[in-house]
Each structure stands twice: as C-alpha cells, then as structure tokens.
Homo-oligomer: A and B are copies of this chain.
C-alpha cells in the first residue's frame, strides 16, 4: 500500500512535468532585467488555474514583483512556501551541452537554467497541489511567497515580509533549496549562513604613473595587496578585532548533527574540480559554523595583453564574509574598516554592499523532528541527515524575525546539480522522490 502510494505520486509528477516546462523556457534573469513580466504572468495564471483562494502581485517597493498566493486546505495548519522565480545568467554559454532555456531530459537528468535553483521546486509544489486537488483536497492551508530578486541579494523581500506579515502568517515555512549531499544522503537543512558583501578601494595618485617612479611613488595595487593580507592569516582565520565576538555557542543538538555529517574531502575535491587539496580548516564543523572572508574579484592597473609598465593609481577588491548566528553584517563591515585603520590602511575604504543575517531553526523544533521522521521513512534512516544550516545565504532570518515560523529546506537537488553553473540539472529520480517526500510532509502536518 505504501509502495503503491509512492508509485502513484511519483508517476503523477513525472507525467505532469513536461507540461510545466514552459516555466523553464522563460529566461527570468533578474541581474539583466530579462523576462520578469512574462514569468510573473505564467505563475499567476498557474495559481488561478489551480484554484488559489487569493493571488496577489506586490510591487509597492518597486523592483521585481513579489507573488503571493493562498490555497485553502482541510486543516487549520498553514504551510508557507518560499520560492524565487529569478535565475542566474546562463553564462558562460559555450560550456552548456544543451540550451539553457530549452529544458532537456537526458540520462535521467533534467537540464535547464533554474531547474535546481529554484524553478524545479516550484513545479514540484504546483504538481502536488494539482494532485491533492484531484484527490480530496489539500491537507493544509498553503501560502506562497515567490520573489524575483533572490539572485541579486533579495534587497526588498524584508520590506514585503514586514508590511504583509499578517497575510504571510503560517505554522511552518518550507524554504527553497535542500536535497542530497555528495554521498546521496538526504538532508533536512535547518538554516542558512549570513553574509556581508563589500568592496575595498584605494587610490594612491591622480593617475597611473610610469613604473620607473616606483622608488618614491606609492602603488595602489601593492596597498590593496598589503591591506587584504593584513585581514586574514594563512589558515583562513579572520584577523579583525571583534570579528568572532558575537557568535553564539553551538547547542548539543547542533554539535551532534554536525558530528553525523560525512565530510569527504576526496569527493569534494573531485566534485568541485579543486586543484589544491582541502586543508585541515575544511571540515563539517566549519562548513556549518565557520566564517570566511572571500575575495570575489580583484581589479587594478593594466589587465590587457602583454605588459604595461605602470604604477596603478587605483585598486579595488570585491569580498564577502559568510557569517553565523548572531553576527551582524553591518557591524562586521565596520569592524573591518576599523581594523584597516589600525593596520595602517586608513586610505583603504570599505564600501558596504549587501548583508543578511544567519539563521537556524532549533534542531529540537517539532517541525524539524517531523521532517526527519518522514525523511527516515522515505529515504531510509541511514540516508537521512540533519544539516543545521547550509553554507549559503538567504533572507530566512528576515522571515523568521517577523513571522516567528520554523523554516526547513527539503529539496530536490543533488551534489552534481551545479546551481549558477552551466549544465545546471537535477535527477528525475530526485524530483519524483522529493515530491513524494513533500507530499508525505504535507499530509503529516494536516494530521497534526
């Protein structure tokens, strides 16, 4: 009977999938402001067809609209889904083996930009609503918040959550993302790291100078290199006074969950094409609760072919720091600027960019426990783990601080999905199994 149920759900979503491919064909690229209206129209239309009690487009804060929808269920329980309809640019195009906006099923995988991050998950969710509609109704009330600016840092979602908090109220929140690790273990992911992005800029002269003057004229590129180097030791430890002060101690549940994670250096090196071995600082512990200071880009002076014997007058670096609870993104940027002054680099300026707090749903929350229980049933107890938080970031803390709702990520990707990369894909089996898992979760919540 249970096996039959799994087969039925999996067959349903598999059969319906090709009819939903239109969503993947629209290049909804927020960074390039492409295809937004068309994508929004597709989703709104789909919600109406599925019988939503309410569908709204919010755009009072400008930017790409947020889509809100509400479906009535048979119980008092309410689940809020967070999704985003925007995707990363497909570049570099020449590395794709299929067309990024022409979804293709091949070797048991579905290839398309956004299939993993995060369009595929919406399709699975829509398909389940359709199934429930045809089979006695939704076990819970379902709300959707679908934003269109996740790939550019969700700059406005917090505003929308604050001003629509009542409408968004829910008992549980199922986030985007989540799925299987490099050992194909299914992960119940309970949080996200925080982030602060910033730029470091320095100028040493009004214009680039001839490099013969380097015995007396300062060099912006050298200043930047020295300033950067003063912020981190060779093991990746951040050398900024106060940087680690606000980090909360891990509770026993979180420590336990980390100890159960299998951090396989060989597999990670191979999966990610690393050319250098992972050092001792690479560990399950640091992946969950470690800080990083990452140079995203360096720019200075002559970058063309051949050589040009100049002293660059300007240099800049883009950076991000991944943060953990309760580090404050803005405070972190200020501490870095302060440290630069202390280190003798008061001329190196920190321009604050995007910031997000880290977030973790407590692992002893009943929602986490229920997700784990169903995970054990669907994937097997040996293949289901709890990940206290993923190493990436997102606006979950902004949701939680306003909505006070437990948030988990229980998705359909696997270690080879390659979000943001060419040939982004998910496995059809994961799509089917992940949809069945979600079906079971919604049913269980309805019976609570």
Residues of B within 8 A of A282 (CB): 215-217
Chain A interface size band reads 35 or more
- A391-412: CB near B (< 8 Å → 1, else 0) gives 1110000000000000000000
Does A217 lie within 8 Å of B272, measured CB to CB?
yes
Pick the contact of A274: B199, B205, B236 (CB < 8 A).
Answer: B205
Per the bound structure, the CA–CA distance linking A31 and B229 in Å amounts to 35
Taking CB atoms, residues of chain B closer than 8 Å to A301 are 295-298, 318
A273 neighbours in B (Cβ, 8 Å): 205-207
CB within 8 A of A299: which of B205, B207, B226, B299? B299
Number of copies: 2
1/0 per residue, CB under 8 A from B, across A184-218: the answer is: 00000000010101010001111101111111111
Contact in complex: B318, A296 (CB < 8 Å): no
Q: Residue A153 at the B interface, CB < 8 A?
A: yes
Q: Are B306 and A225 in contact (CB under 8 A)?
A: no
What B residues does A390 contact at CB under 8 A? Answer: 212
Looking at A226, A301, A318, the one whose CB has the most chain B CB atoms below 10 A away is A318
B281 in contact with A309 (CB, 8 Å)? no
Residues of B within 8 A of A317 (CB): 221
Asked if residues B214 and A322 are in contact (CB atoms below 8 Å), the reply is: yes
User: CB of A330 within 8 A of chain B?
Assistant: no
Contact assessment for A287 and B195 in the assembled complex, using a CB-CB cutoff below 8 Å: no
18 cross-chain CB contacts under 8 A? A206-B275, A211-B294, A211-B296, A215-B287, A215-B292, A215-B322, A216-B265, A216-B287, A218-B276, A221-B297, A225-B225, A294-B309, A296-B311, A297-B310, A298-B300, A298-B312, A301-B318, A306-B353
